A and B are shown apart, each in its own frame.
Chain A
Amino acid sequence: MRVGVLALQGAVHAHLGALQRIGVDSCPLRRPGDLDAVDAVVIPGGESTTMSMLLASSELLEPLRRFVADGMPIFGTCAGMIVLASEIEDGRDDQVALGAIDITVQRNGYGRQLQSFETDVALPETGTFHAIFIRAPRVIRVGGGVEVLAHHRGDPVLLRQGSVLVASFHPELTNDPSIHELFVNSVLRAGMAG
């Protein structure tokens, strides 16, 4: 199994490091053909408007849409969650929403950097996870068929629909591997089912 981390902009190395620490083979994705060589994709945190433009200019948008349509496993954190959402509030009009998971997110929904924070959130099975929220998107609508795996102050912050996992915070910035493991285990299960 090989996991590609979209490497157009953002916390790419943090995700590559997190995957490496749990023994998963990973690589950066920058060119259209790169997607053919991976079984799963991580879209990191960063600036979603920048990533959106670079997806188009790097000719990765169509391959990524096909990847989503094929039901391949994808994990998006923060900006990555925005890119994977079906609707975006307070985004740019030309911003990409892949519609991989049926949620509406409000960009910078928790405020600017001065309102950014860290806190513990409760995870099913594995206990608490220390979560860092940076100018984070807020999930303001959850469609049917979307599982909410964790909340913070009433807002969903970790969600899953089929093979798509999204977090409004940054599991790649802490040393706790449990959310990356959650993703990788779902990839392995999908592989065995297929």
Chain B
Amino acid sequence: MSSESSATFPVKRGLAEMLSGGVIMDVVTAEQAKIAEDAGAVAVMALERVPADIRRDGGVARMSDPDMIDGIIEAVSIPVMAKARIGHFVEAQILQSLGVDFVDESEVLTPADETHHIDKFAFEVPFVCGATNLGEALRRISEGAAMIRSKGEAGTGNIVEAVRHLRSILGDIRKVGQADSAELFDWAKRLQAPLPLVQEIAQAGRLPVPLFCAGGIATPADAAMAMQLGAEAVFVGSGIFKSDDPAPRARAIVEATTHFNDPAVLAKVSRGLGAPMTGIGMDEINQRYAERGW
């Protein structure tokens, strides 16, 4: 009667549901975490360098220093997420022991395993993983991810890849929904995804976990576009703290994510924010993070 089960899949996915309609902001210090919370973030992502800096500095990008993550957990009352390298289950074990609320197995960090992602069912902490297409999303879900985010191209301030990935995932969900039962076998083969998950999506018309958008959001309009395309919430990485005036921009992106369908509100919150992060075109980058993950 009063027996309790923690870390079940419904409990993991439940937190993802609670973050819906919100903005998760990358922060590298406790001060930035406070600014994010003050602006209405639903959660913060603690990491050592924002993606734009990882891109600029190069080298191997790893899990953050536990001291820094502790400091951020201490500074805010909203959920705290942190990134582990793809396949680096020990980084994930460490993050779980620190008490973070979500682990992001992230392509923004340098992959630790070029074949295997983390077995996320083996953990109590929920995981979010990136995906560029429906097959990748379903493989991550089959490994235990409780949330999917479209990857976009982190650290560019350019929404184009996020749009491509969202359209790919959601467009294929719509197509799978039109397929007959025999065609679903072929879909499972083409997507390289488990048949039961493909059948579930055909039935439900949506992923079995929330789909958020990440990678390139720099303005309130970008966030609203992701939401109108069908994302359930947004991650903003470099877009806030690489802009001229982070606090008002963070607040404006929160408002835009809620009122994504209301152009009058979007116009109002887009005024006077100062310069967004400069951003870069896809033909100017030599490393596409979105290609990491298998």
Contact = CB atoms under 8 A, between A and B. Distances in A.
A47 B22 contact: yes
B67 to A, nearest CB: 18
A7 interface: yes
Chain B contact residues, majority secondary structure: loop
Q: In which size bucket is the chain A interface? A: 35 or more
B22 A11 contact: no
A109 to B, nearest CB: 12
Contacts of B96: 114
B258 A11 contact: no
A185 interface: no
A54 B255 contact: yes
A46 B22 contact: yes
B7 interface: yes
A113 B21 contact: no
A12 B259 CA distance: 14
Interface string B100-114: 011000000000000
A46 B18 contact: yes
B260 to A, nearest CB: 10
Contacts of A54: 40, 254-255, 258
A180 interface: no
Given A113-B125, A128-B1, A135-B79, A58 B18 contact: no
Q: Which 6 A-B pairs have the closest CB atoms?
A: A113-B101, A9-B21, A47-B42, A117-B6, A117-B4, A134-B14
Interface of A: 7-14, 30-31, 45-47, 49-50, 53-54, 57-58, 78-79, 90-92, 107-108, 112-120, 122, 128, 132, 134-135, 152-153, 170, 173-174
19 contacts: A9-B21, A9-B42, A10-B18, A13-B20, A31-B262, A45-B17, A46-B42, A49-B40, A49-B77, A54-B40, A54-B255, A92-B37, A113-B102, A114-B6, A116-B6, A122-B1, A132-B14, A135-B79, A174-B10
